[in-house]
Amino acid sequence: MSKEDRNPREEDRMSANIIAIPEEGELRRFFERLRAAGTLKVKDGGHEYVIKISRSQMTNEARDFLARGGPISD
């Protein structure tokens, strides 16, 4: 990982769950491509991953759907 891709919050161990993306660097460019495409396939050696971007905030419609539970009506 290059210095420009390092996250100062991780170095301070302030948060392991929320990662701030640096303003410049490979990580920033990756997320810009991901936002533009919505989904990317990433190969790491013999492994392949599908990365899909979604917002961390839930809409009220999605919250209502999840709160109902059970199977979807036809």
- Report the C-alpha gap between 44 and 67 in whole angstroms: 37
Number of domains in the chain: 1
Which residue reads 């990317």 in tokens?
40
User: 66 is written with which tokens?
Assistant: 């999840």
Tell me, yes or no, whether 39 lies in a domain: yes
For the record, the structure tokens of 48 come out as 């392949």
In-domain check, residue 31 = yes
Is-contact 22 28, C-beta < 8 A? Answer: yes
pTM: 0.49
Residue 74 lies in a domain: no
Across the range 6-13, mean pLDDT stands at 51
> How many whole angstroms separate alpha carbon 58 and alpha carbon 64?
10
Evaluate whether 53 touches 39 at the Cβ level (below 8 Å): yes
pLDDT tens-digit series, residues 18-46: 778 888 999 999 999 999 999 999 999 99
Domain contains 27: yes
What domain range is 16 assigned to?
A: 3-68
In a domain, 55, yes or no: yes
73 in a domain, yes or no? no
Provide the pLDDT for residue 60.
85
